[in-house]
Amino acid sequence: MADYEFTIVIERDEDGRFLAICPALQGCYTEGETETEARELITDAIRLHVQDRIEQGEPICHEVGSERIKVAV
């Protein structure tokens, strides 16, 4: 069993729900009523996504890096 690390982004939508996204895994996202629930759900979604890719013989994307940038508008 291999260990993988991924960056997740958690945002709050206009309805107050929390959206959790894993940018490195296209289409891997979920939502919850609390930040904690969203974090738990995205962990499960990532695990299932990676397991499926392994079973299909598909490569697992590895992040090169992440950073925050500031823009003025």
The domain spans of the chain are 9-55
pLDDT at 15: 94
Return the sign of the alpha-carbon dihedral for residues 46, 47, 48, 52. Answer: positive
Name the E strands within 1-73. Answer: 9-12, 18-21, 29-32
> Of all residues in the chain, what percent carry a pLDDT higher than 90?
86
Assign 21 a pLDDT band (cuts: 50, 70, 90): very high
Q: What is the pLDDT of residues 24-45, one digit of tens each?
A: 999 999 999 999 999 999 999 9
Distance (Å, whole) CA 48 – CA 41: 11
Phi and psi, residue 11, nearest 5°:
-125, 155
pTM of structure: 0.87
Quick one: pLDDT band at residue 55, thresholds 50, 70, 90? Answer: very high
pLDDT of residue 35: 97
